[in-house]
Amino acid sequence: MTNNDIVQKLWNLCDVLRDDGINYSDYVTELVLLLFIKMVHENTEAGLLEKHPLPAGCRWTDLNGKSGINLLNDYKRILLSLSTGKDTDGNLVHEDPLISAIYADAQTRLREPRHLEQMIRTLDQIDWFSAQKDGLGDLYEGLLEKNASETKSGAGQYFTPRALINSMVRCIKPQPGEVIQDPAAGTAGFLVAADQYMREQTDNYLDLSAKDAAFQKNQALVGIELVPNTRRLSLMNCLLHGMEGDDEGVVHLGNALGEAGKSLPRADIILANPPFGTSKGGEASNTRDDLTFKTSNKQLAFLQHIYRNLKPGGRAAVVLPDNVLFEAGVGTEVRRDLMHKCNLHTILRLPTGIFYAQGVKTNVLFFQKGSATDPLQAENCTQRTWVFDLRSNMPSFGKRTPFGDAHLKPFEDAYGSDPNGNSPRAENVDGIGELSRFRCFTREQIAERGDSLDISWLKDVNAMDAADLPAPEVLAGEAMAELTEALHELEALMEALGADEEVDAQKRLLAETMGLGTPLSQLQEEDRG
């Protein structure tokens, strides 16, 4: 059984939840409350966890041997105990702040014991040995991705395509000892990917000293997430990947555009996909008084946080929509400030259709705080910017044509091995100069564009050039011919339906409107005579 097979089997349990009257939007939250208990059990049985993180009486073995109303009542009791740390009598059950955070305000909406029984049976029937090969954390991430692709609405704010996350991490190359931050953590995809990358470089941190390994586990990675249920998913995701964080976990609950973001320590690396759109409360939703440029545009506010919160010499990779690249007013000021304080060395223009918000055009900005020669420099750090166009003349991505690692490899090859974009580069990717997907633009050239970073040059082979279009009168004639043919087809249809009189009336009206034949008023007068 493959990981995808197991993910589909888990997703099918949502049918059981629907039968119990649970809303589509609550499927994953309801499912993972139970699934996490099972996954912790499997990880403990496999020896992947030093100790069982859940207290006695709140484990999988306390559920899977029961049935009926006793099972449902015990499950509700377990959720309450995990959430509050106390049992129904007020006795202390656990003091683990991370478990309390994961199960904060957790409660099941299941009403039928048979549905809970069915879910438990299904989870027990899964080939967890096969799942262990890919890691239960990766299986969990697969479920989150499945939810994002199936539910559509609102999912895009939580989930970034896995291939893109991994590509950004490979370019940035996080190293042990560095502080890595995501101020819009979602389900912690960037933080998990960065942790996995570093584990692969260090034999799962076994190459590090005990002190350095503890730093990686508890301090190296930190995120902020605004939505409580999403944060719950992220904490589960981190724990299943062996990431514990501080007393609040790897991902803290809060608003990065508020005091929570202001209090974040400076980071060596920031990886993020800030939420799209404007703050619902306008500028009032952004309470940061340390951001120079006031705006209700969330991406512009997050971008300011990111380049301000980097340590000197720190690096970032950030997913941003097109409007950030060309928006006038505050947008222009933020871009100028970014290019002053950071070396914006690379922009990746992403294809359309790879996010669940269809039609959204996005980019990845790669930059370093300061310059290579002077990390503390605050002016004119950007001398040139390389742009890789992965949007023009690309397939239409979706379920039938999934976006994957192979599509990003040409960009990674062009980016080079230096995480700060200092590898030797040439305008020779898929062509030369204006035929290339990879081109360099000087700071002066960008200034000539009004400091717009919305730079494109490749001609879309599917787009018709205006010079190749027929004359306007020809286009108008073709349109009129198509309309005439459509009218004839409608006339035949109405006559077939026995609406002859209505057809005659409409034809007369059309004749008068077009100035053809006898005016309708005259025909009506003749009819009365």
Percent of residues, the chain, with pLDDT higher than 90: 46
- How far from 504 is each of 495, 511, 512, CA to CA, in Å? 10, 11, 12
Examine the pLDDT at 126 and tell me if it is beyond 70.
yes
439 with 485, same domain? no
| DSSP class per residue in 146-199 | HHHHHH-TTGGGT---HHHHHHHHHHH---TT--EEETT-TTTHHHHHHHHHHH
Examine the pLDDT at 72 and tell me if it is beyond 80.
yes
Domain housing 222: 158-448
| Least confidently predicted of 58-72, 93-107, 365-379 | 365-379
Our count of domains for the chain comes to 3
Percent of residues, the chain, with pLDDT higher than 70: 85
Structure tokens at 9: 């089997």
Domain boundary among 139, 166, 198: 139
Task: Taking residues 251-276, report their average pLDDT.
Answer: 92
422 with 293, same domain? yes
Let me know if residue 323 belongs to a domain: yes
115 with 212, same domain? no
- Phi-psi domain of 57 (left: phi exceeds 0; alpha: psi -120 through 50; beta: other): left
Report pLDDT for 322: 93
Residues 264, 302: Cα–Cα separation, whole Å: 13
Let me know if residue 12 belongs to a domain: yes
132 with 49, same domain? yes
Let me know if residue 511 belongs to a domain: yes
Residues 15, 9: Cα–Cα separation, whole Å: 11
Describe the crossing of helices 27-45 and 113-125 by its angle, rounded to 10 degrees.
Answer: 40
Residues 268, 216: Cα–Cα separation, whole Å: 14
183 with 330, same domain? yes
Examine the pLDDT at 136 and tell me if it is beyond 90.
no
435 with 472, same domain? no
Report pLDDT for 26: 77
Contact yes or no for 113/71 (Cβ under 8 A) = yes
In angstroms, the first-to-last Cα distance of the chain is 84
pLDDT band at 433 (very low <50, low <70, confident <90, very high): low
The set of residues, in sequence order, having a beta carbon less than 8 Å from that of 148 and lying 6+ positions away, is 155, 156, 158, 159, 356
- Phi-psi domain of 430 (left: phi exceeds 0; alpha: psi -120 through 50; beta: other): left
The CATH number given to whatever domain includes residue 123 is 1.20.1260.30
In 202-258, DSSP assigns E strands to 221-225, 251-253
pLDDT digits (tens, 9 = 90+) for 437-496: 999 999 999 999 999 999 999 887 655 455 555 667 767 776 777 787 777 777 777 777
Calculated CA dihedral for residues 59, 64, 65, 69, nearest 10 degrees? 100
Residue among 192, 211, 145, 116 at smallest CA distance from 8: 145
Q: Which amino acid is at 202?
A: T
pLDDT band at 161 (very low <50, low <70, confident <90, very high): confident
180 with 271, same domain? yes
Structure tokens at 393: 């003349």
94 with 124, same domain? yes
Task: Select the highest-mean-pLDDT range: 121-130, 282-291, 370-379, 450-459.
Answer: 450-459
pLDDT digits (tens, 9 = 90+) for 294-318: 988 899 999 999 999 999 999 999 9
Q: b/e string for 251-288 if b means 16 or more Cβ within 10 A? A: bbbbbbbeebbbebeebbbbbbbbbbebbeeeeeebeb
Neighbours of 53 (CB within 10 A): 18
For all residues of the chain together, what is the average pLDDT? 84
117 with 199, same domain? no
Rounded to two decimals, the pTM is: 0.81
pLDDT digits (tens, 9 = 90+) for 29-62: 888 899 899 988 988 888 777 788 899 999 999 9
Let me know if residue 145 belongs to a domain: no
98 with 218, same domain? no
pLDDT band at 528 (very low <50, low <70, confident <90, very high): low
Task: Select the highest-mean-pLDDT range: 109-113, 386-390, 397-401.
Answer: 386-390
Task: Taking residues 333-355, report their average pLDDT.
Answer: 93
Let me know if residue 458 belongs to a domain: no
8 with 49, same domain? yes
212 with 317, same domain? yes
Report pLDDT for 132: 67
Residues 98, 76: Cα–Cα separation, whole Å: 19
Domain boundary among 93, 109, 139: 139
The CATH number given to whatever domain includes residue 269 is 3.40.50.150
Let me know if residue 453 belongs to a domain: no
Contact yes or no for 182/191 (Cβ under 8 A) = yes
Let me know if residue 238 belongs to a domain: yes
Examine the pLDDT at 88 and tell me if it is beyond 90.
no
Let me know if residue 255 belongs to a domain: yes
| DSSP class per residue in 197-211 | HHHHHTTTTTTS-HH
Residues 73, 78: Cα–Cα separation, whole Å: 9
